């Protein structure tokens, strides 16, 4: 595989960290962006280019892309991976909670794409990967706001794939299910926020069941290394797939929706979750 210059957001933990580690090990030049730079020491020691990145800040994102291009003279791949889960019933989150969720997962993805696409377009080449989720196909109770951002990423990825085709740029969506990663710790505080809402009383049993199932699902989820293998394959492919579904629970959810529809999903999904 030709050695590439690849930018990754959300590289401090989980899928981003595992993907950066794998790509660096394969000899690529990897720019690893995240707010928590201290968690990326291992990537730096391996030769990764560790840079502070906040996808909710325009200047931070533009600087991240420019620094990579100025140093390397090209950008071959972009992995828009940063994000978190807003957990809890729709009613219980404030508009500020929702805006923050969208600013990270959706607008943050857009910021990174807008900052890097000009370089790829000028080159007439490159690959863009976006971490979405099977939750972008199947929305679930207590994951409605998060799922809505993943539906949005699906729309962005599909449109972008067609918009950029004439410039030789490939676009793929990575759509995992449960992942055994730090997303549990990074997101559970948002469920606490929902639970503390003064009108949450009617939802408390639902929230309790969700909390238990969510943590069990994360603990039993696929290793981030499983997703990293797919990320590596997508960056190496001449014609990457439009969508990648790396783990079995993601494929099962999609199968259920396709062949059994919402009548069955409405029965089995309450109290459950898919990452």
- Tell me how far apart the alpha carbons of residues 8 and 13 are, in angstroms, rounded to a whole number: 11
At 130, list the tokens.
Answer: 């976006």
Respond yes or no: is residue 244 known to be catalytic: no
In terms of residues, how long is the chain? Answer: 275
Active-site pick, 31, 119, 146, 178: 146
Handedness of CA 232, 187, 182, 177 (dihedral sign): negative
> At which residue do the structure tokens 């790396």 appear?
246
- Rounded distance, CA 199 to CA 186, Å? 24
Cα distances from 259 to residues 21, 204, 256, 263, in angstroms, run: 38, 33, 5, 11
43 with 11: CB under 8 angstroms?
yes
Q: d(Cα 14, Cα 224) in Å, to the nearest integer?
A: 6
Residues with Cβ within 8 Å of 212's Cβ and at least 6 positions away in sequence, in order, are none
Residues with a known catalytic role: 146
């Amino acid at each position: 595989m030709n050695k590439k210059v690849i930018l990754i957001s959300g590289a401090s933990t989980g899928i981003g960290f595992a993907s950066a580690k794998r790509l660096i090990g394969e000899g690529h030049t990897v720019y690893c962006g995240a707010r928590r730079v201290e968690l990326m020491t291992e990537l730096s020691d391996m030769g990764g280019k560790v840079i502070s990145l906040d996808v909710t800040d325009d200047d931070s994102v533009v600087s991240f892309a420019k620094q990579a291009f100025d140093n390397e003279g090209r950008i071959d791949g972009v992995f828009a991976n940063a994000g978190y889960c807003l957990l809890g019933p729709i009613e219980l989150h404030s508009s500020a909670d929702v805006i923050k969720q969208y600013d990270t997962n959706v607008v943050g993805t857009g910021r990174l794409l807008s900052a890097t696409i000009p370089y790829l377009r000028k080159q007439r080449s490159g690959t863009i990967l976006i971490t979405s989720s099977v939750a972008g196909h199947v929305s679930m109770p207590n994951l409605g706001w998060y799922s809505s951002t993943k539906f949005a990423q699906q729309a962005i990825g599909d449109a972008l794939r067609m918009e950029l085709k004439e410039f030789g740029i490939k676009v793929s969506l990575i759509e995992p299910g449960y992942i055994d990663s730090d997303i549990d710790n990074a997101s559970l505080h948002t469920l606490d926020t929902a639970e503390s809402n003064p009108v949450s009383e009617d939802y408390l049993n639902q929230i309790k069941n969700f909390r238990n199932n969510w943590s069990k699902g994360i603990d039993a989820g696929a290793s981030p290394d499983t997703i990293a293998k797919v990320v590596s394959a997508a960056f190496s492919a001449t014609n990457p797939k439009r969508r990648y579904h790396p783990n079995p629970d993601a494929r099962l959810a999609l199968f259920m929706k396709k062949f059994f529809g919402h009548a069955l999903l409405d029965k089995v999904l309450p109290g459950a979750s898919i990452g």
